[in-house]
Chains A and B, each alone.
Chain A
Amino acid sequence: MAAAMPVRQQPGVTGGRRAWRRGLASLLDFWRRFRKNRLAVVGGAVVLLVIAMGVLAPWIAPHDPTQADFFRRFRPPVWMEGGSWEHPLGTDQLGRDILSRIIWGARASLTVGAIVILIATTVGVSMGLISGYYGGRVDAFIQRVVDVLLSFPYLVLAIGLMAVMGPGFSNMVLALVYKEWVTPCRVVRGEVLAAKRQEYVEAARAVGAGDAHIMWREILPNVLSSVIVVATLRVAWVILMEASLSFLGLGVQPPTPAWGSMVAAGREYIFQAWWLGTFPGLAILVTVLGINLLGEGLRDALDPRLGE
């Protein structure tokens, strides 16, 4: 009988910190299993490399990425006739160094990916917690909104919003967040519904813990690992979407270097220079692949059964 037990032993009172510690302990466990997955570690290394590239861009890029030079247009990569080490991956239609633009382009992709996922996860997790915890009308309303947002194909909604708001960095973030929060919301809602039936939540409520306390200290730590996995995998998706919007000219605006718009230039000058679009696209592929490997490794480490 919960009521007969001494109050101090109730998980609802001392358990908040304990629940977080429990969450962290399972995260450590997670890391131990994760390390054994070679592909996931490779993916993690790729991701770290790309992040380093973005952060250190001003110091490691050989040239100014926006520096146009009419006399150096369409220089081929170094291994081709006419190429030189000065521009290892060649130059584009304005004579800008492609390698430098790829290095700087990592910034656009990573910032959009990180900011969108950060906002979307915060919004989505809160919505999911509220929706799953309170149920009833709040839940019904949020779920209707989710249903409507889910009725738009992802890129279609983003393109529609970009068309209305006009291109640009912050508009793009907004256009992606509009739909992106749905994923963490659904994941968290499902987990909350499952967690609500668990004993520790019942016990916390039995000793009179408040709703906010229960959500923040009891439920959230328990859904943390799935949120992390989902967020990681979704970064890959958001980066693909950012690149797609930039490819269509609706995302990051020139002269800021972005991988998507570089591929668009490659499409435009397809008959002149194959290297314009090939290398930036390869950068997208490698980055997204790395994040996917990392995310799937995290997922398998979280729940070994899932990967089998």
Chain B
Amino acid sequence: MSAAYIINRFLQLIPVVFGVTLVVFALMYLTPGDPVEVIFAGESGATAEDLERYRRELGLDQPFHIQYLRFVIGLLQGDLGISLVQRQPVRDLLLSRLPATIELTAVAVLVSLIIAIPVGVVSAVQRYSTLDKLGTAGALLGVSMPDFWLGLVLMLLFGIHWGVLPISGRIPWGMEPQHITGLYLVDSVLTGDWPAFRAAVRHLILPAVTLGTSMAALTMRVTRSSMLEVVHQDYMTFARAKGLSGTQVVVRHGLRNALIPTVTVVSLNIGVLLGGNMIVETVFAWPGLGRLVVDSIYNRDYTVVQAAVLVYAVTYVTMNFLADLVYTLLNPKVRL
């Protein structure tokens, strides 16, 4: 993969990101109601002049394109605006919630891939076996299941009926490990705080399973179908004719080829995961970005919603970009 290809692919992102900022800004601009009124909603002392002055200060009296320009310039300087309700920089709010979301999502993705890819491969290689039938049925169930309901059922069973796992939050109050990265699993390992590690893992299990299920189901289905196409290829027979064992053939020759379409489909569905993130964080009271968005909608804290939508979109675009690079790494034919 040449540097030129990466740069070219990267340049293609610019119009897309431009469009994304435009949509996000328009969302805010078109919002019915006046942000200034939201700000002063609880304060009785404010006069009409106060409101007008504040409006001018925020630049809300300017035409659309000027406001948009100011918005973009702010973004480039890392300024995401001020929270209307909490009265602090939106950036700080988002950053404080980010580690929780990253931790949950990363664990969910890792676990689902570790389970789904082998199951998909084995289902394809041993087609019509019991494992294939179970795996296929499970995957179909997984893609059809609403994640908030799965979360609820898991809470009812493991949290309430058997009472073996906690059902909300990241960690019991006061047990937080010393802050280094904000990721409790990492921080607790770094500081050797094993009780915190144990608690963090226990809190992670149900939300991660809930979030990872649809991803795992999807990955399993794609891996299985692309592997099914690969197993009948001539190069698989030829590899067997060289004296490789069945497992070696599947791992060395099959998987590399089967993963190429898998990467594409999985990357397109990272969006499902990011959306699911809001739902799952709401269900499990997980103090992350998704929860912040939902709370901000209830509070009419539009600047936070706007910024968070932007963060989600940019994350998604970046993920797809990275997946594209992985795709070219796996597939020598598109290497330029």
Contacts and interface: CB of A to CB of B under 8 A. Distances in A.
Contacts of A49: none
Interface string A270-281: 110010011011
Interface in B121-161: 140-141, 143-149, 152-153, 155-156, 160-161
Nearest to A277: B152
A157 B317 contact: no
Contacts of A243: 146, 148
Contacts of A260: 146, 148
Contact of A267 (B270, B276, B283, B316): B283
Contacts of B272: 153-155
B313 A163 contact: no
Given A160-B309, A292-B140, A285 B275 contact: no
A280 B153 CA distance: 12
B197 interface: no
Given A243-B146, A271-B160, A263 B152 contact: yes
B83 interface: no
A289 B312 CA distance: 28
Interface size class of A (residues with CB under 8 A): 35 or more
Contacts of A274: 156, 160-161
B199 to A, nearest CB: 21
Contacts of B108: none
A292 B144 contact: yes
B19 A151 contact: yes
Which of A145, A248, A280, A284 has the most chain B CB atoms inside 10 A of its CB? Answer: A248
Nearest to A152: B313
Given A153-B312, A163-B302, A263-B152, A247 B279 contact: yes
A240 B144 CA distance: 8
A125 interface: no
Nearest to A162: B297
Contacts of B28: 164
A284 B272 CA distance: 18
Given A164-B31, A278-B156, A244 B297 contact: no
B15 interface: yes
B23 A148 contact: yes
Contact of B271 (A154, A264, A266, A288): A154
A151 B293 CA distance: 18
Contacts of A308: 228
B309 A152 contact: yes
A244 B279 contact: yes
B278 interface: yes
The DSSP consensus for interface residues of chain B is helix
A293 interface: yes
B236 interface: no
B282 interface: yes
A250 interface: yes
Contacts of B27: 160-161, 164
Contact of B149 (A145, A153, A154, A285): A285
Interface centre among B19, B30, B167, B306 (most CB of A within 10 A): B19
Interface string A149-183: 00111111101111111100000000000000000
B93 interface: no
Contacts of A280: 149
Contacts of A36: none
Contact of B293 (A159, A271, A284): A159
30 contacts: A147-B19, A148-B16, A148-B22, A151-B317, A153-B275, A155-B275, A156-B271, A156-B309, A156-B312, A160-B305, A160-B306, A163-B305, A164-B28, A165-B32, A236-B144, A244-B147, A247-B148, A248-B279, A266-B152, A267-B283, A274-B161, A278-B149, A281-B146, A281-B148, A281-B152, A282-B149, A285-B141, A285-B149, A289-B144, A308-B228
Interface of A: 144-145, 147-148, 151-157, 159-166, 236, 240, 243-244, 247-250, 260, 263-264, 266-267, 270-271, 274, 277-278, 280-282, 284-285, 288-289, 292-293, 308
A-B interface, 5 closest residue pairs, ranked by CB to CB distance from nearest: A155-B275, A281-B149, A148-B19, A153-B271, A289-B144
Given A156-B312, A159-B278, A270-B152, 14 more contacts: A144-B15, A148-B20, A151-B20, A151-B313, A156-B278, A159-B293, A162-B297, A263-B149, A270-B167, A277-B149, A278-B149, A278-B156, A285-B149, A292-B143
